[in-house]
Structure 1
């Protein structure tokens, strides 16, 4: 059921938007002119609303760009990345790691970092996970967290036996 049907209880009447120049009955001609004006007004209001929403969203967007060779801090999210160890208190775990050097740029939003060889995470990150290194006085954690043996996800190789339980 269309939303119009649910709201009004009947299907909308279809009046094609034919040119006003065509010879028609006077009442139909005025009705078509009113519909064209209403259609124009609705389109203008829709464009105004879209522009207003775009302006509000653009206030929150950041235009960060990094160059190859720059140093950045890496933001890791242990609750989303399975290859990062989960600590007992996520609030107290470090927010940024690094600094790491950018060695490649893929497209406009992805960057490859020069991570230590002991890291177990993929080296390509979205720009929202990176923060530019400014100055020399801030030195957060350089070593990436290691993965615990308990966090390893075991994949199923083969189903050996099945059974069906029926409930009455």
Structure 2
């Protein structure tokens, strides 16, 4: 290769790199969550975790909201986890979190269930 061919190839590589960088930077956004905010926790990267008895495509991607206790670094947060998953380390990357927006329609009212002496009940459709 001559010096001119090397320069042309180098220029093409730089142009392609700049174009790819511009594509990647379009979707990039600065994420920051305040302490005390509630977030959903992404469950999919954990292999072998079965939540609510469902596997595969039907298993939930995010699990119940947890409160952020402190910010560890620019992209790491400590969560207040429940007892059921307390064996998991409680510091997570921001990409594993999704902000929980409080909506009263998410809350379901459960009717009072009257139990019999043998701890059974009559099931009625809602």
TM-score (ref. length: structure 1): 0.51
Offset at 1:50? 0.3
Q: Distance in 2 between matches of 1:41 and 1:89?
A: 53
Offset at 1:39? 2.8
Do residues 80 (structure 1) and 46 (structure 2) align? yes
Offset at 1:117? 3.1
Q: Distance in 1 between matches of 2:90 and 2:67?
A: 11
- In the alignment, which of 92, 97, 100 is matched to residue 58 of structure 2? 92
Unaligned runs of 5+ in 2: 108-126
Q: Distance in 1 between matches of 2:105 and 2:55?
A: 23
Aligned-residue RMSD, C-alpha: 2.7
Identify the residue that residue 64 of structure 1 maps to in structure 2. Answer: 31
Counterpart secondary structure, 1:91: helix
Superposed CA offset, 1:68-122 (max 9, x none): 2221111112x7344x336443333322222111112222222110111342322
Identify the residue that residue 121 of structure 2 maps to in structure 1. Answer: none
| Structure with bigger RCO (C-alpha 8 Å, 6+ apart) | 2
Do residues 45 (structure 1) and 3 (structure 2) align? no
TM-score (ref. length: structure 2): 0.65
Do residues 117 (structure 1) and 83 (structure 2) align? yes
Q: Distance in 2 between matches of 1:137 and 1:52?
A: 45
Answer 1 or 2: which has greater strand percent: 2
Provide the aligned length of Structure 1 versus Structure 2.
105
Do residues 104 (structure 1) and 66 (structure 2) align? no
Return closer, same or farther for 1:101/1:88 CA change in 2, 3 Å cut-off. closer
